[in-house]
A and B are shown apart, each in its own frame.
Chain A
């Protein structure tokens, strides 16, 4: 597929799955709930469950795996790298948390203990458990619906709208970038493979300037257009793309609520930070 036809990063994919039909509000709440749970637990069992559910949901979006395979690999490797660094800088972290020390591979300062291994596993998976849900959220929630939901959940509508505009201008700014690049090439700046890397880099900087400034000038024009069409005229506003909540949504929402409160209760009553079966 050619560059100019490719959507950048990941974005909304229309597959009309069950998840797509859920209301944006529900999905956002789910996302936030998920984050809360992840952040408050160090229980490997729970984390593994989260990862499993997350991946399941990801399958449910009906988005072909090839869309996110590379991402999956990238994230996995980034996280393992992260784990490695954690080990290099603090090989004893695990033992500190678990309170016991069971050396597996004796190697002086860097001797690998079972506790550290367990600790690294838990933390890494903890990070990873955020990955599928984020994808699910982006794949299934149309940007406009997203900001509408934000507003419904009590975020001031101007901030919510700022978010909406941000999403609206992401592709736009990419286009601007491309346009400026082309315009400059068409007037004698060589950016294709044929120029030396150095001169290409130099020329690239000659695009960033214009990009930033066109964007700044843009803000004037856009805000004018918005004011002219009555933005900020009233204390609130309605949203073209806001769907009403269905029974399905209510069911999901209540389930989410229950799960979160359970997780929090659990967190409060745990006497040890990490769940560690081997002592």
Chain B
């Protein structure tokens, strides 16, 4: 895998942010060992800014870190899930050919963003749920309930928080161009 130094750092910082943000103290518990993590917005942000590979690794490493340091043992199925979510949302820059870097974030971008968030969550945590039924013989009905809650919850969360962050990202990128003294 060809990673630039910048990418390595971005992954690390992203994972650290997502990892801490994911800790239970910041979470909103909604269901059996299922919390809505505002940190999802961070994962989304890094995926949107830096693409699928970063997205995947931020999700994967970050979630792993959360599990490890929260101390409840590592739940690989969901670690993988976070990775996939990042991966999917990471398609955003490819599909919008990096408009946001030049300070543009329009309605259609936002819609795409939300759609990706939804798909990502369904696919990503869908895998987790499926694997749980296999590896932990969890009842399908239960993991399915979990999945629907998480997917919908996260999507809303990502949409709302993500909107504001991405807006201001765009704004910043605009503000830092052709500055003149005086």
Direct contact of A and B (CB under 8 A): yes
Binding site for B on A (CB under 8 A): 8-11, 35, 39, 42, 68, 71, 74-75, 78-79, 81-82, 84-86, 89-90, 93, 97, 119, 123, 126-128, 130-131, 133-135, 137-138, 156, 158-159, 161-170, 172-174, 209, 211-213, 215-216, 218-220, 222-223, 226-227, 231-232, 273-274
Residues of chain B within 8 A (CB-CB) of A84 are 32
Name the prevailing secondary structure of the A interface residues: helix
Shortest distance in angstroms between A246's beta carbon and chain B's nearest beta carbon? 25
B12 A9 Cβ-Cβ under 8 A: no
The answer to whether B108 has its CB under 8 Å from any CB of chain A is: no
**Which residues of A have CB within 8 Å of B136?**
123, 126-127
Interface mask (B134-157 → A, CB under 8 Å = 1, otherwise 0):
011111111001000000000000
Are B69 and A165 in contact (CB-based, < 8 A)? Answer: no
Interface size class of B (residues with CB under 8 A): 35 or more
| Bound complex: CA A82 to CA B72 (Å) | 13
Which residues of chain B have C-beta atoms less than 8 A from A97's C-beta?
A: 137
Closest CB of chain B to A70's CB: distance in Å?
9
B residues neighboring A (CB under 8 Å): 1, 3-6, 8-13, 15-17, 19-20, 23, 31-33, 42, 45, 49, 57, 61-62, 65, 67-76, 135-142, 145, 165, 168, 172
Complex: how many Å from CA A259 to CA B104? 57
Whole-angstrom CA separation of A169 from B71 in the bound complex: 19
* Cross-chain contact of B73 among A75, A89, A215 (Cβ < 8 A): A75
**Cβ-closest 5 pairs across A and B:** A90-B139, A130-B73, A165-B12, A9-B69, A85-B32
Please measure, in the bound complex, the distance between the C-alpha atom of A55 and the C-alpha atom of B139, giving whole angstroms.
Answer: 28
Could you tell me if A212 and B42 are in contact, using CB atoms closer than 8 angstroms? yes
| Total contacts A-B at CB 8 Å | 168
Q: Which residues of the partner chain A approach B49 to less than 8 Å between Cβ atoms?
A: 216
Contact across chains for B65 and A71 when beta carbons are under 8 A apart: no
Write the chain A residue with the least CB distance to B67.
A134
Let me know if A172 and B68 touch, CB within 8 A: no
* Chain A residues closer than 8 Å to B32, beta-carbon distance: 78, 81-82, 84-86
Closest to B72 in A: A75
Report yes or no: A158 in contact with B168, Cβ–Cβ below 8 A: no
A131 to B74, CA, bound (A): 8
